Amino acid sequence: MREKEPFDLTGQVALVTGTSRGLGQYFARALARAGADLVLTSRDRSSLAPFEAEIRSMGRRAVSLELDVQDFGSIERMAHAAHAAFPQIHILVNNAGCNVRKPALAVTWDDWNKVLDTNLRGTFFVAQAMARSMIEHGYGRIINIGSVTSVFGYAGLAPYGASRGGVRQLTMSLADDWGQHGVTVNCLAPGWFRTEQNKVLYENQEWVDYLVDRIPVKRPGEPRDLDGAVVFLASESSRYVTGQTLLIDGGISTGATRATTTKPGGKAG
């Protein structure tokens, strides 16, 4: 592969799962701004039409594909279609995910299966499907999207935390497995960002104040805070980085900040 500018993705193709909304779209935009063409995926392919048009308006090639990461057949069909559109996929951002926010005693069998099947099993089998071609070409960048819950536990998030912790461990295993073939695998772990999954929390100002009090930089994350990290992990600049979990969390994982406010619900921080 020819030598390029460290963060230039021109001529490369990135596949981002879960791009119908939320952080998936921000990841895709950041990669497109860096020069990458895009494969966009969602369970509802028609929902991607406006975003595909946006990516094309940036001067990038883009295709939209249907993908249900809970369905192995859907994963295989998506991989085949992606390679029909672009012979080589250089970058995978494994972003598709879901959450069930409940006290642990209220979590059902179906809740558990939905979250683990989407966030962990889906992540693995999408990575596997795309890695086959990456290994053949001797080059690939796989970015699994984790969370601050990949390394810390939070009440009400037992299935989600288990799945994201699993993504972190999976990342290390795949990095060890595929590094010899020129494929790096890393985990990008956002902290507290406002998304569709957690927007109800941000409607509670008391909770927001409680959260901000625990973040050293004193604010929740903004999507643009993730741009540099995803481009770095997708680029030649990260060629000697693999198996790592990169926390983009404003420092909340340091544990250094002690809140002075009272936790909503009555518990002190």
Residues with a catalytic annotation lie at 160
215-220 long-range contacts, CB within 8 A, separation 24+: 215/191, 215/249, 215/250, 215/251, 215/252, 215/257, 216/250, 216/251, 216/252, 216/254, 216/256, 216/257, 217/250, 217/251, 218/250, 219/250, 220/191, 220/192, 220/193, 220/194, 220/250
| Interatomic CA distance for residues 164 and 152, integer angstroms | 10
| Dihedral sign (CA 26, 31, 37, 39) | negative
The answer to whether the beta carbons of residues 199 and 152 sit under 8 Å apart is no
**Starting from the edge strand earliest in sequence, which strands make up the sheet with 13-16, in order?**
62-66, 37-42, 13-16, 91-94, 140-145, 183-190, 245-248
Residue among 89, 55, 79, 81 at smallest CA distance from 234: 89
- Residue 39, strand partner residues: 15, 63
Sign of the C-alpha dihedral computed for residues 42, 97, 93 and 139 taken in this order: negative
Structure tokens at 197: 């999954």
